Amino acid sequence: MYPKKPTAEAANGKPKPKQLTVTVLGRHMKIACPAGQEEKLQNAMLELEQRVSKTKYQPGVHGAEDVLLMIALNLCNELLELKKNAD
């Protein structure tokens, strides 16, 4: 009998990431999620869904790319404000 090959978990001592499916604007994507981070990912997806709902009906926003671009710009602006206020 041959010894078992070491798994990715055994090789680096960390649990293997889980493959989760997320849906954004009707598009399904499989992403790797570090073990123990599933709840954070769910919370991030809920936040994104709320932002999509608020953004997709704004005037001048047409299609998924526009929605995601507006959300990305707003998130970057919020991040810059947080950094500015932290200094």
pLDDT tens per residue across span 19-66: 989 988 889 999 999 999 999 999 999 999 999 999 999 999 999 999
Buried b (16+ CB within 10 A) or exposed e, 52-78: beebbeeeebeeeeebbebbeeeeeee
Q: What is the pTM of this model?
A: 0.73
On whether residue 1 sits in a domain, the answer given is no
On whether residue 2 sits in a domain, the answer given is no
Nearest to 51, CA basis, from 69, 37, 33: 69
Say what the pLDDT of residue 14 is. 79
On whether residue 68 sits in a domain, the answer given is yes
On whether residue 66 sits in a domain, the answer given is yes
Number of structural domains (the chain) is 1
Q: Are 60 and 32 in contact (CB under 8 A)?
A: no
On whether residue 25 sits in a domain, the answer given is yes
